[in-house]
Amino acid sequence: MKLTDEQIHRICAAILTRWKGKGLIRPKAPDDAIVARMAAELRKDIQREEDLDREAGELLDLHLRKAGSPEANTRILFQKIKERLAAERGIVL
């Protein structure tokens, strides 16, 4: 599911509101600036995962071509490859 910029902004604004409401943070910057920074980080994280998915898919295709095994469960192999790449790069899934 692809999130729009508006959805990302609303998610970040809701998170910030909850954090402030629970007293978890006391911001020193305006809410708009904080939400913008949160949204930028979330977009970067989404892009990193999309890149990871693409690379895992490429490795899976390469593996399947080499193995020639049509009975392999591609979803499980894809997830294993993705987890390994994420661990190597320090990405939390």
Instruction: Decide: 62 and 81 in contact? Cβ < 8 Å.
Output: no
Instruction: Decide: 71 and 53 in contact? Cβ < 8 Å.
Output: no
Packing angle of the helix pair 31-67, 5-21 (nearest 10 deg): 120
Q: Using one digit for the tens of pLDDT, what is the confidence trace for 20-70?
A: 999 999 999 999 999 999 999 999 999 999 999 999 989 888 877 777 666
Q: Using one digit for the tens of pLDDT, what is the confidence trace for 59-74?
A: 888 877 777 666 667 7
Whole-prediction pTM value?
0.73
Residues in the chain: 93
Backbone torsions φ then ψ of 14, nearest 5 degrees: -65, -40
Please state the domain extents for the chain. Answer: 5-89
